[in-house]
Chain A
Amino acid sequence: GENVEQHPSTLSVQEGDSAVIKCTYSDSASNYFPWYKQELGKRPQLIIDIRSNVGEKKDQRIAVTLNKTAKHFSLHITETQPEDSAVYFCAAKATDSWGKFQFGAGTQVVVTP
Chain B
Amino acid sequence: GAGVSQSPRYKVAKRGQDVALRCDPISGHVSLFWYQQALGQGPEFLTYFQNEAQLDKSGLPSDRFFAERPEGSVSTLKIQRTQQEDSAVYLCASSFPGQGFSEQYFGPGTRLTVT
Contact = CB atoms under 8 A, between A and B. Distances in A.
Interface of A: 6, 32, 34, 36, 42-46, 49, 51, 89, 91, 95-106
Given A43-B108, A89-B42, A99-B31, 16 more contacts: A6-B42, A34-B104, A42-B108, A43-B109, A45-B106, A49-B101, A95-B100, A98-B50, A98-B56, A98-B98, A99-B48, A100-B33, A101-B104, A104-B42, A106-B40, A106-B42
Complex A-B, nearest 4 residue pairs according to Cβ-Cβ distance, in ascending order: A103-B42, A99-B98, A43-B106, A44-B106
Chain B: number of interface residues, binned into ranges: 20 to 34
- The interface residues of chain B, by DSSP majority, are classed as loop
Given A42-B108, A43-B106, A44-B106, A99 B41 contact: no
B41 A51 contact: no
